Amino acid sequence: MKLGILVNKERHLREIIEITMAAVSKGHRVNIFVVEEGVNILSNPDFIRLHEINGVRISFCDYSSKELNIFKENIPEEIICGSQMNNAAMVHESDRVIVL
């Protein structure tokens, strides 16, 4: 199964990590898209480390990051700086989507 997680707030870090770890432990793939005020979570090392897990893909909205002054230079290149097209692709490819 492919699980999509849309992160539009930064307040659910623990839940994002726990859901991601549970899904991966059961052999599922997880695609996370970060947008709006959720891009603030990109400064949290615990969130950033999720991209190192096999089966996890993370992308974020470039527009939101510019609006909230998130410096992309501090984000690993494996985390994709994208657009709402990445969000649409995540939704299309996912069997289930959670919004946090």
Q: Quick: pLDDT tens for 35-46.
A: 999 999 999 999
Query: Which structural domain range is residue 71 located in?
Result: 2-99
Mean of the pLDDT values across residues 53-74?
Answer: 92
The CATH number linked to 11 is: 3.40.1260.10
Question: Is residue 96 predicted with pLDDT exceeding 90?
Answer: yes
Q: What is the pLDDT of residue 71?
A: 85
Residues in CB range of 79: below 8 A, 6 or more apart: 42, 48, 51, 58, 59, 60
Residue 38, number of CB atoms within 10 A of its CB: 25
Q: What is the pLDDT of residue 17?
A: 97
CA atoms of 40 and 24, how far apart (whole Å)? 24
Q: What is the pLDDT of residue 52?
A: 96
Mean of the pLDDT values across residues 82-95?
Answer: 95
The closest of 57, 60, 50, 41 to 94, measured between CA atoms, is: 57
Strand ranges inside 16-86, DSSP E: 29-34, 56-61, 80-82
Using pLDDT thresholds of 50, 70 and 90, give the confidence band for residue 18.
Answer: very high
Contact between 53 and 16 under an 8 Å Cβ cutoff? The reply is no
Residue 55, number of CB atoms within 10 A of its CB: 15
- Number of structural domains in the chain: 1
Q: What is the pLDDT of residue 39?
A: 95
CA atoms of 51 and 30, how far apart (whole Å)? 10
Mean of the pLDDT values across residues 42-64?
Answer: 96
